[in-house]
Structure 1
Amino acid sequence: MAAKSMSIYLLKSGVTVEQAIKDSGGYEETEVAANVIPNLRVFLKPGHPKQPWWKTYLGLSEDLFQQSNSAIAFVGIGKRTFALAFGAGQHLLKEDSYVHDFGTRVVLNAVDPNKLKSTDTLDPESSQRRRTQIPYDGDLALLSFTSDSSVLKSLTGKARSEHSDLVRSVTGAASLRVTTPTEPGDLALLLKRLHQLYKSKEFRKTFPDIAQIRPITDPDTINPLNERLVASVFDVSAPIVLTVPDVLDYGDETYVQFSGRGVSEIFDDVYIKHYREYLEGKGITAESFTVDDLKHDELLLLDGSHETKQRWSIFRSLVFETQAGEGYSYHFSDGAWFRVATGLLESLQEFLDPYWIDTTLPTHEWTSEAEYNTKVSVATGSVCLDQTNISPAGQTQVEPCDILRIGEGTIEFVHVKIGTSSATLSHLFNQAANSVQLLRTNEEAAEKLLKLVKEKAGDDTAQQVAEALEKNAYTASIAIVSHKRTPERKSANLPVFSRISLRRALVALKAMGVTTTVQLVPDATDRAGRPKPRKPRSSASQ
């Protein structure tokens, strides 16, 4: 019996076929002959015959007409309705009409955990998306899935033996893609079984950590969360951060500006207060402000000459966290919402907070990160290694640290970063772990470090560093410079994905036997409210 592949959606409870269909879908309901499939309604969109582009490209004379038909079939099973999409039939459905985790949950309950084939994952911190496939049956470990830092977008594998009479392989996301030998007369049975699998919570035993972070795609959930996000822009007490959604080189002179309703003043650094005052200056109030305004307005990154280097929507540049319901928090970053299990947040706090110490570095009161590192190194008798490189020739640059503090028989690699954006902090945490690993595994890197220290601090200091490296007598410190005045909150000061990447880095450092501390350094600069004077520009961004 030939197997058939189809995509299956589950309409939300109470949603009718008419409510699920887009008004401009271009589909028409077609008559269904006497059929063994009960409660069936089919909507069809015939394709238009056309010749493939390569016919003309290759100069072929034959008529090679082809067309692609699409259909969507609705099947009522008890009180619920399923939609079976064929071709491009899924485009007929309104996004808020179906259950967005139906496919994922069915697969997690139906799939054999040792017969997985493929995963589609998202790293929320970097917005990297990847597909991992293996040519044989395997488990999540073989597919390189890390439950505390990756979001599972789709999972493909063979069904458990007890389901093989109805489905052979399954792929789950918002919809469920199944390969099934089911004939029309058994379709109702298949859909009933799939609904039972959707309602089951057995997957929590097989995949206990897989749902710690989930992307939110259902408009019914996103819309009220977006309303909270919009309201927080005008709420000075809200835990909202405006940040450049990319890794920056703070060695370059950069400024920021807003556009969308005329350009703003130019500022030294990005800060939510700047944007709030920009809106108020244009007569925008909390009552009139919408999520579309956030998507329309832009954050501009300027170079030293005040020319635009990059731009992003304000919507993508916001980081926000909120509680909604028991057991979960919701995190917004890089223009997307994620549901984070409270258990994950608690485990992060339990792991990270013991690393937190009171700051041992001076308050930041200079104009840039580079100047801070230079001034603090002089004031504390340390070696400034900011913007240096110890990586072997031809490899990606690795900075040993920003400040190298010399003690009695020991040294401390201090890594400094201004701000608490996820992308910036991830770079900082990776640098802390990568530099130690490189120094331990590459003689050329260690030699480069000693040469840098000798040039900057002399032979005696270089000898001290050499002896410390030989004995592995060194520690690491991660210093986060921030305007936040709540050091007692420790790791909770950081966005959730920054906490995840920090834990990953600390685990790596612990495995290498390196004692590490984390500190929040007060930022006393007035980066939040001092505009820069405008310079003449060749063109203004509107």
Structure 2
Amino acid sequence: MIPLSAFLLKQTFDPIGALTDVPDDPEPQLAYWSNGKWDAMSWVDRHDVSAAQAGDIFVVAVGRPRSAPGWQDLLSREVPHLVFSEPPMSYGAIAFCAIDDSIDSQLLRWIAWCFGSGSRLLQRSSQDPRFGLKIALNVLGSDETSSNDNGSVSRRARLGFKVREMGFRTTAPYFQSARHRAARSIPTDGFRMDRASDLLASVGGRAQQTMLAGSVAGARSLRFRKNLSSLGELTELSATLVRWSRSTSYVQTLPWVDNIQLVEDDDLLAELQEHLIEQLMADPLPATVDALLPDDLLDVEDERAIRCILFPRERRDNASRLNLTIETIARRICRSGDPTAELATELRFLDDYDEVIGKVRLLDCICADLVIGDQQYLAYDGDFYKVDRTFAERIDTELRQLETSAIAFPAYKAVTEPQYIGLIGDQYSDRFVVLDRELIYLDGETGVEASDLVAASGALIHLKRKGKSSTLSHLFLQAANSCELLRRNVEARRIFADLIQQKAQTAVLAHQIAQVHNAQMEGRGLEVVFGFLGDWRGRTITSLPLFSRISLVYESRKVANLGFKPTVALIGDPGGQPTPRVPTMRQRTSTTAAGVPAQTLSAADNRSARRARQ
């Protein structure tokens, strides 16, 4: 049995264009199969592959010098009768099979069969990113893949199917790759994957399909073992794999797989980026485009906060930016002669001491829902995703059913969460009890923060600045974990009541909250508020990034199932005016030509004023 690994090249790539940089010494070996015979080809004539026809096979074999492994050095020293080549070589080969496209017979497609280290010779950008995954899903989910062509549903599809391994990209609370493997085939529900928001990347199991009977693993490539009597057999197999990759029979049992897909096609990425630029240059700005403050630049225990945001070549003494709004980004895109390059520029985030906390691209700070034709996409954290529109509509429909809290919150003016909570503690202590960073500890368990604030109505309030999904997910998890602890544990409720008694500024407020909690704390409709701090002009809760909306829907379900009443609060500045920085001594003693204090102007306004004085 020969291990095989098959990749489908994108339509814009031929075998030569798909190769990475290959070594000149030794020179790659080339051969091709056409008209029933093999012929050698020189490396100089490698571009002749453009004249290939369906059925042709083009083979590249590359040897790379490598350092000898430690065991080889040991044996060569100890056993003089053993001879190893110098320098040691690592060999890899690719057999490119040309086939007619199953949809467009005028189009030639290439399947790259990789042997040894051959897969390292392929550019990642040349590969169809879901070729192997879709085939594996189809062959693992049905008795015979070909039987799905007539639309019938096989017994395995009706009953579901089992797999041995799954790999996926998690989206909350942090983006990361995860891979789980079972000792035997188990149902897909047995793997720890959030089917609502995680992105399936690979799947493996035992196939029943005759041609691929045995273990199959699919991601970018399809990997399996098969006896081959000749390379010519790969041509027929290539055509079959392309046909299977076009099937969507897996949707019958795994409909959630295509809810959200990472876009990796270069042409589509370029189109989506151009569409995003058009949205940013629109007047007025659509509510579906927003800016995200990357709070994940900071460690959880880091006491620093983002105090200033600088664009490239911008000086600290000219900046007065405490927050990042989509209007600021849009103005910069409109002024740029190269908007695409502008999206790739890096922003610097400074703390109170003007030290750089971190740098991110401008594109990483934008989230947007994009619609092109009848397809919906998402721009988020520097990546683009294709989203099933009906799935997004279901999420938003459920999100709109969440009630808005009736609690009146002070205006938020682009400060950090601790500063905002501190403001409430100083000026509104008759209406709120501050419990930020106060933890409930039970024997044998980690500490849990019950809430950031407790309102006079008894409501438990959890606050977070509007930012990336990785940041907001902590808000949702904190609220759900708090509700679960208070619901199931009497001792936790007692400790929580003591905290309120200690932190309340007046006995009247503590007594008022205690009365509500005594009546409602045991899961009888006590309000739990998800509070979002940020710029909300012209936007609603559905303006949050899709991954945040998904997390909010699912965690609010948990809160409601525990007997509490989840609500949301969008806390911003009604006036929409940013809070000015504290001016320096030089700024306090200088004015513009119009007599306006310099620190109240933006950097662009200051430049205009200087030109006016000149």
Between the aligned partners of 2:297 and 2:485, the Cα distance in structure 1 is 22
Q: Secondary structure at the match of 1:68?
A: strand
Aligned-pair distance for 1:440?
2.3
Aligned residue number for residue 493 of structure 1: 543
Query: In terms of mean alpha carbon deviation, does 453-462 or 503-512 score higher?
Result: 453-462
Aligned residue number for residue 216 of structure 1: 263
Number of aligned pairs? 520
Between the aligned partners of 2:136 and 2:29, the Cα distance in structure 1 is 31
Stretches of structure 2 lacking an aligned partner (at least 5 in a row): 40-53, 101-107, 142-159, 587-614
Tell which has more relative contact order, 1 or 2 (C-alpha 8 A, sep 6+). 1
Q: Secondary structure at the match of 1:267?
A: coil
Quick one: structure 1 residues 251 and 234, their matched pair in 2 at CA, closer, same or farther if it must change by over 3 Å? farther
Q: Secondary structure at the match of 2:436?
A: coil
Between the aligned partners of 1:499 and 1:135, the Cα distance in structure 2 is 35
Query: In terms of mean alpha carbon deviation, does 131-140 or 360-369 score higher?
Result: 360-369
Stretches of structure 1 lacking an aligned partner (at least 5 in a row): 537-542
Aligned residue number for residue 45 of structure 1: 62
Aligned residue number for residue 76 of structure 1: 98
What letter is aligned with 2:478? Q
Are the equivalent residues in 2 in contact too, given 1:266–1:532 (CA < 8 A)? no
Are the equivalent residues in 2 in contact too, given 1:418–1:481 (CA < 8 A)? yes
Between the aligned partners of 1:477 and 1:311, the Cα distance in structure 2 is 32
What letter is aligned with 1:460? H
Structure holding more helix per residue: 2
* 2:439 maps to which of 366, 389, 394: 389
Q: Secondary structure at the match of 1:310?
A: strand
Aligned residue number for residue 187 of structure 1: 234
Between the aligned partners of 1:323 and 1:155, the Cα distance in structure 2 is 30
Are the equivalent residues in 1 in contact too, given 2:97–2:234 (CA < 8 A)? no
Quick one: structure 1 residues 50 and 370, their matched pair in 2 at CA, closer, same or farther if it must change by over 3 Å? closer
Aligned residue number for residue 534 of structure 2: 482
Aligned residue number for residue 15 of structure 2: 17
Identity of aligned residues (%): 24
Quick one: structure 1 residues 515 and 134, their matched pair in 2 at CA, closer, same or farther if it must change by over 3 Å? same
Aligned residue number for residue 243 of structure 2: 196
Superimposed CA distance per residue, residues 337-363 of structure 1 (whole angstroms, 9 cap, x where no aligned partner): 211110111110121111132653234
Question: How do residues 245-260 of structure 1 correspond to structure 2 at under 5 angstroms?
Answer: 246=296, 252-258=304-310, 260=312
Aligned-pair distance for 1:370?
3.5
Between the aligned partners of 1:313 and 1:60, the Cα distance in structure 2 is 53
Quick one: structure 1 residues 16 and 397, their matched pair in 2 at CA, closer, same or farther if it must change by over 3 Å? same
Aligned-pair distance for 1:42?
0.5
What letter is aligned with 1:76? A
Q: Secondary structure at the match of 1:464?
A: helix
Between the aligned partners of 1:434 and 1:317, the Cα distance in structure 2 is 29
Superimposed CA distance per residue, residues 441-486 of structure 1 (whole angstroms, 9 cap, x where no aligned partner): 3444323212211112346357436623664342212122332223
Between the aligned partners of 1:135 and 1:55, the Cα distance in structure 2 is 34
Are the equivalent residues in 2 in contact too, given 1:415–1:428 (CA < 8 A)? yes
Aligned-pair distance for 1:387?
2.6
Between the aligned partners of 1:11 and 1:216, the Cα distance in structure 2 is 16
Aligned residue number for residue 133 of structure 1: 181
Aligned residue number for residue 195 of structure 2: 147
CA RMSD of aligned residues (A): 3.4
Q: Secondary structure at the match of 1:484?
A: coil
Aligned-pair distance for 1:208?
1.4
Superimposed CA distance per residue, residues 128-184 of structure 1 (whole angstroms, 9 cap, x where no aligned partner): 21111111111211112222110001111111x2x2333422222222222223443
Between the aligned partners of 1:209 and 1:268, the Cα distance in structure 2 is 40
Between the aligned partners of 1:266 and 1:54, the Cα distance in structure 2 is 61
Query: In terms of mean alpha carbon deviation, does 465-474 or 196-205 score higher?
Result: 465-474
* 2:347 maps to which of 298, 314, 323: 298
* 2:381 maps to which of 331, 334, 337: 334
* 1:403 maps to which of 442, 449, 453: 453
Between the aligned partners of 2:222 and 2:347, the Cα distance in structure 1 is 37
Quick one: structure 1 residues 452 and 191, their matched pair in 2 at CA, closer, same or farther if it must change by over 3 Å? same
Aligned residue number for residue 471 of structure 2: 424
Between the aligned partners of 2:92 and 2:75, the Cα distance in structure 1 is 29
Quick one: structure 1 residues 320 and 533, their matched pair in 2 at CA, closer, same or farther if it must change by over 3 Å? farther
Are the equivalent residues in 2 in contact too, given 1:7–1:178 (CA < 8 A)? yes
Aligned residue number for residue 7 of structure 1: 5
Aligned-pair distance for 1:215?
0.9
Quick one: structure 1 residues 332 and 391, their matched pair in 2 at CA, closer, same or farther if it must change by over 3 Å? farther
Q: Secondary structure at the match of 1:194?
A: helix
**Structure whose CA Rg is larger:** 2
Aligned residue number for residue 539 of structure 1: none
Aligned residue number for residue 85 of structure 1: 114
Aligned residue number for residue 270 of structure 1: 324
Aligned-pair distance for 1:211?
0.9
Q: Secondary structure at the match of 1:509?
A: helix
Aligned residue number for residue 400 of structure 2: 353
What letter is aligned with 1:144? R
Are the equivalent residues in 1 in contact too, given 2:537–2:576 (CA < 8 A)? no
Aligned residue number for residue 67 of structure 1: 89
Between the aligned partners of 2:92 and 2:577, the Cα distance in structure 1 is 56
What letter is aligned with 2:92? S
Aligned residue number for residue 504 of structure 1: 554
* 1:310 maps to which of 329, 345, 358: 358
Aligned residue number for residue 540 of structure 1: none
Quick one: structure 1 residues 527 and 394, their matched pair in 2 at CA, closer, same or farther if it must change by over 3 Å? farther
Between the aligned partners of 1:390 and 1:297, the Cα distance in structure 2 is 40
Quick one: structure 1 residues 25 and 350, their matched pair in 2 at CA, closer, same or farther if it must change by over 3 Å? farther
What letter is aligned with 1:221? L
Are the equivalent residues in 2 in contact too, given 1:433–1:505 (CA < 8 A)? yes
